[in-house]
Chain A
């Protein structure tokens, strides 16, 4: 008896649910199948996205222009530098749109394997160096000269630095001569490897907030500099060739001309997307603006790019293929 009853109840419940669902459905709009959009002569354009916001700014603007102006189908792949370069040879990556030096990779992929070629400067200049939080530069004005660093070494001592001053390094992807510099400039410091960019940023952020001393490796352009304006410490000036022997470096880092690298086949095909990448050129201010939209104003890269492109039609015009 009970089982028959519950059976009826359950059948009723199922049927009425089905009915209810079917009824409510009638109000909705149906899904129309889309015809694959004709991508014109541009075809697919694959950009590697290296993991930092400045890079993302370059890529987002390029992708936006390629999609709206050239009708390309843009594919973005999130990859670290090494793996992105590898992708040139396998035809899986068309372009890297902000490259910091990487002479070893240029040797390997441009000279030896001949799978990549340079597509010129992005117009953005990259500066690498040692930085302190702004409060320190104010309180100890002479700290920005490396000659005075030993005087302040004690300030920078931490549990990690073995009785010396701590020099904080970040993500190992970046070029660093810091151990050699400390040794060759006879500084009473110990390099401590934070190991990642977020850890480095967090260390600087807290140092400024709580007025704690930190000396660390950093770089410009970087969105964080518009949150906390780190002050650069001047090392002995860079001269051509002074960093030739990594063991004997005793000078500052060179100013990097951040360039674009594309795959050989992409360049040879010389399609509209390649011409766009080749022509692409803007300034540190432009990139910082887009990076700030992304990092601080919480815009998606697409929104940020659209906003910037709207406001800078003339610059974008100059990048478009002439035909």
Chain B
């Protein structure tokens, strides 16, 4: 939505007006600094660790009364309990099929040979040869790591969570695609589902849906469903108008318009949604293990209790491999969905489908009947190597790098983090709040300022203002590091496809390796500190930023870059004068996404010394009487996310318009 200032900026007077904006920002910051030196330490709204506000008590009471009504309330008897029964049955069924002994057999229905054969066959049938080989290799690796059963448990839970997410997510996404009102209604709900820390709703979930697969699945799908809805809606919304109008002109009904035009044309995007849903579901594997979800997550958590980095790493690798396999297969399937089957003659393909189908069926039968095809032979040799390797590397690093990393930690903390934290957290709340709102108005627009004002109010209301500002300082520093890495590595990858090929799998690993696996190494290198929390956030968020920047740089037409080179620009000039400015959109997106991803690691940060909001959430999960405070802290994280996101978006919109105004 354009405000009056924006429309004003497209006139001839633009240059002069645009100079005044930065000046105003600088003036605001200077004023803030002066006020800060005078008022520092007043009205900071600090809340001691064990102290609760009325709101926190009230939230505790609500939680308790929900628990108390478990056995009497009709909502439980006829609604929640039914959902739970269905979910439990679904998960148990899939587990009995591939993971757990079932139907009076000592082993699951399908053994490793059958699963590997079926997965490869499906990957080939829906995608292509290369990913089928990758799938076969990846799944065999689980067996070699000695983690076959754990991997299949994880797969079973993931499959059910994804299935249910899509079952509801795709129809909701279609609805959000065709109805603007529903789209507006559901967007904040999706924001909430994606940014609310899982720790906040784990305990209530087990109260409502009991301990077991149902709670674990529901925890997973709360996080995994939003991408399915968002991306489906996005797909429907970006179908170009002409084909739809053409369908309409033939007198199509609304239903026909949907099934004949909108759905087929957005098929590829919807498959991409499936892909993102799978990735999100896998991101929940370890957290769900905290409420007894079976699978690889448990291995990680158990290993953590004895600070066994190697074993945790081994299980982490299995999760990464599963994510990469499922990602590549679904991506290839979406490409196929768009471009069609490729070069094979349809008759031959049919024959092959039948032939390989037969092979897969025989393998499945064998794995049903014979022990050697059911239980993976020789478990774990490779896993031993992996875990020993990881332990050796960690030990080496903490002996040889710790001095260097400690220096880095001290440097960043003293030069950047401490001053920023002092500025944000030690300003009186009303001063800080005013600065945020004014800044939102200056670099964004009035609407962003209004959102910011509401958010400041909510943060104060949560009783956790001071903790929020401490967390905000860490988030900003982490985002700065993420964006720097994003630009440096992203440009490198965008310019060299060889670098891209080598780095991309590392980025995938950074995104999907559960943070619990690297908690101990991070503490070993950076000790228990806020900087450790920042590092954890950067490991998770930088890959996204790097990928976005790399794609942005690659999307610049080659002719433009060649023209610059021909005109005598050296590499540095080409990057700074041509490639970076032209990839501006991507840089903005990378910043925005980097920020959101960093925020989603706030709670993990709480486990390595971040304190503030992250620690409050963890404490609320661990102790009943702190539940309400933990929930408030979770809400504060969501509010921070929304506030920063809306301001950044408004700023991006505004700067989008500025250069185009220049060109006219």
Contacts and interface: CB of A to CB of B under 8 A. Distances in A.
Q: Do A and B come from one complex?
A: yes
A180 B640 CA distance: 30
B440 to A, nearest CB: 30
B211 A79 contact: yes
A74 to B, nearest CB: 15
Contact of B524 (A27, A89, A202): A202
A199 B609 contact: yes
Given A196-B608, A203-B523, A173 B371 contact: no
Interface stretch (B539-547, B551-559, B612-620): B612-620
Interface in A164-186: 168, 171-173, 179-180
Nearest to B611: A193
B14 interface: no
B529 interface: yes
Interface string A85-112: 0110110110000000000110010000
A89 B351 contact: no
B49 A179 contact: yes
Given A172-B619, A179-B49, A195-B606, A3 B528 contact: no
Nearest to A171: B622
A160 B298 contact: no
B292 A77 contact: yes
A323 interface: no
A197 interface: yes
Size bracket of the B interface? 35 or more
Interface stretch (B136-144, B231-239, B268-276, B359-367): B359-367
Given A93-B211, A193-B615, A203-B527, A25 B623 contact: no
B571 interface: no
B370 A195 contact: no
Contacts of A11: 351, 355
B609 A202 contact: no
B332 to A, nearest CB: 21
A87 B358 contact: no
Please classify how large the interface on chain A is, using the bins under 10, 10 to 19, 20 to 34, 35 or more. 35 or more
Contacts of A18: 358-359, 362
A185 B281 CA distance: 48
A131 interface: no
B304 interface: yes
B199 to A, nearest CB: 10
A202 B520 contact: yes
B523 A198 contact: yes
Nearest to A49: B292
A210 B307 contact: no
Given A93-B211, A160-B609, A197-B305, A83 B206 contact: yes
Given A86-B203, A159-B413, A25 B373 contact: yes
B612 to A, nearest CB: 9
Given A53-B305, A159-B531, A199 B607 contact: yes
Interface stretch (A33-41, A262-270, A305-313): A33-41
A22 interface: yes
A30 B371 contact: yes
Nearest to A4: B348
A152 interface: no
A193 B467 CA distance: 13
Contact of B345 (A3, A15, A79, A89): A3
A79 B205 CA distance: 13
A28 interface: yes
B624 interface: yes
A104 B626 CA distance: 11
Contacts of B212: 92
Nearest to A174: B622
A244 to B, nearest CB: 15
Interface stretch (B99-107, B160-168, B580-588, B645-653): B99-107
Interface in B394-416: 398, 402, 409-410, 413-414
A196 B206 CA distance: 22
Nearest to A170: B528
Given A90-B210, A159-B529, A193-B615, A198 B304 contact: yes
B138 to A, nearest CB: 21
Given A21-B359, A92-B211, A206-B398, A195 B618 contact: yes
B182 interface: no
A86 B207 contact: yes
A158 B529 contact: yes
A34 B370 contact: no
Most buried by A among B409, B606, B609, B625: B609
Contacts of A33: 103-106
Contacts of A36: 104
B306 interface: yes
A82 interface: yes
Interface in A54-98: 56, 77-83, 86-87, 89-90, 92-93
A90 B291 CA distance: 15
A198 B301 contact: no
A10 interface: yes
Interface string B45-71: 000111000000000000010011010
A17 interface: yes
Nearest to B409: A159
Nearest to B630: A172
Given A25-B373, A172-B622, A14 B359 contact: yes
Contact of B529 (A31, A89, A160, A202): A160
A251 B3 CA distance: 62
A43 to B, nearest CB: 18
Contacts of B368: 31
Given A86-B67, A160-B529, A199-B608, A51 B362 contact: no
Contact of B50 (A17, A32, A78, A246): A246
Nearest to A81: B622
A7 interface: yes
B514 to A, nearest CB: 13
Contacts of B414: 159
A199 B305 contact: no
B211 A29 contact: no
A66 B619 CA distance: 34
Contacts of A197: 305
A160 B531 CA distance: 9
Nearest to B622: A173
A149 interface: no
B543 to A, nearest CB: 24
A87 B215 CA distance: 13
Contact of B622 (A17, A82, A159, A192): A82
Interface string B471-488: 000000000000000000
Contact of A158 (B527, B608, B615): B527
Contacts of A29: 370-372
B369 A179 contact: no
A195 B289 CA distance: 18
B44 interface: no
Given A172-B619, A202-B524, 14 more contacts: A3-B347, A14-B358, A31-B368, A34-B105, A77-B292, A80-B622, A83-B291, A92-B211, A108-B64, A158-B529, A173-B622, A193-B609, A195-B606, A206-B398
21 contacts: A11-B351, A14-B356, A21-B366, A22-B366, A31-B369, A33-B106, A34-B104, A87-B211, A90-B210, A104-B625, A159-B418, A194-B607, A197-B305, A198-B307, A199-B528, A201-B307, A206-B524, A223-B306, A294-B306, A295-B306, A296-B306
Interface of A: 3, 6-7, 10-11, 13-15, 17-18, 21-22, 25, 27-36, 51-53, 56, 77-83, 86-87, 89-90, 92-93, 104-105, 108, 113, 158-160, 168, 171-173, 179-180, 191-203, 205-206, 210, 223-224, 246, 294-296
**5 tightest Cβ-Cβ pairs between the two chains A and B:** A14-B355, A172-B619, A28-B370, A173-B622, A196-B607
Interface of B: 48-50, 64, 67-68, 70, 103-107, 202-203, 206-207, 210-212, 289-292, 298, 301-302, 304-307, 345, 347-348, 351-352, 355-356, 358-359, 362-363, 366, 368-374, 398, 402, 409-410, 413-414, 418, 519-520, 523-524, 527-531, 606-611, 614-615, 618-619, 621-626
